[in-house]
Amino acid sequence: MKIAMTMSLVVTLLAPFASHADALSEDRVKELVLEAIRENPEIVLEAVQIIERREQERQAAAAASVLSENRDLLENDPNAPVLGNPEGDVTVVEFFDYNCPYCRRVKPHIEALLDEDPNVRLVYREWPILGDGSVFAARAALAAREQGKYEEFHWALMGMQGRAEEASVIQVAQEIGLDIAQLRRDMQAPEIDAHIAASMEMSRALGFNGTPSFVIGDALVPGVIEADQMIRLTQEARAAGQ
């Protein structure tokens, strides 16, 4: 498909030259295009770059539209955990998975941001995409809200060694004093299904392909970012009134 798009774009690029000819046939235009490519092969590279740039611009515009239409739900969903300052004037949203090594790597940078800026609201979107263990961990973390221990459980899971699987998640839950029987019951709540489903839908709509992914103001940031960049983006969002 990309080859066809490239040829089409090359034809477009060469159109001004072909327009000087009288009633060129389609076959003749193709011949001219091929001749031009043979003489100037960099035309193909330029065409591919233009296609990729246009696609990136299209995706960015689509994501910006989705963000604009869904900002209130994204930042103020009552079914999403909020850390930091619940009344803060800037909201950072993170989509994450407990089995994502990059999410674990970003943990100290998140903590540094919260220490540096007491007016940041940190909204967590549990987005378990790395297997059944991730799903179990996400459900358990969300269920821990009923015992007032989401934040403690979250940081403990992010700091654990090895993969998050049912046995290791339950062990961490026991270590921080969660009632395991209640936790298992609360994990079946429809609110948990709703949170995870919303995370899946919003992440796809925003064009995110993996964890961690952040929304800070109008900035959509996939991948690991360090504290300095987080602080700069939150300052920019605050200055823009977002």
3-class DSSP assignment, residue 60: helix
3-class DSSP assignment, residue 99: coil
pLDDT in tens, 186-209: 999 999 999 999 999 999 989 899
Q: Which range among 63-72, 82-91, 124-133, 233-242 shows the weakest confidence by mean pLDDT?
A: 63-72
Cβ burial of 229 (10 Å; 0-12, 13-18, 19+) is middle
146 secondary structure, DSSP code: G
Q: What is the pTM of this model?
A: 0.76
Domain map of the chain by residue range? 68-132+191-240
Cβ burial of 104 (10 Å; 0-12, 13-18, 19+) is middle
Which CATH superfamily, name and number, covers 68-132+191-240?
Glutaredoxin (3.40.30.10)
**Position 3 pLDDT exceeds 90:** no
pLDDT in tens, 24-75: 677 777 777 777 777 777 777 777 777 767 766 666 666 677 777 888 989 9
Q: What is the pLDDT of residue 94?
A: 98
pLDDT in tens, 70-97: 889 899 999 999 999 999 999 999 999 9
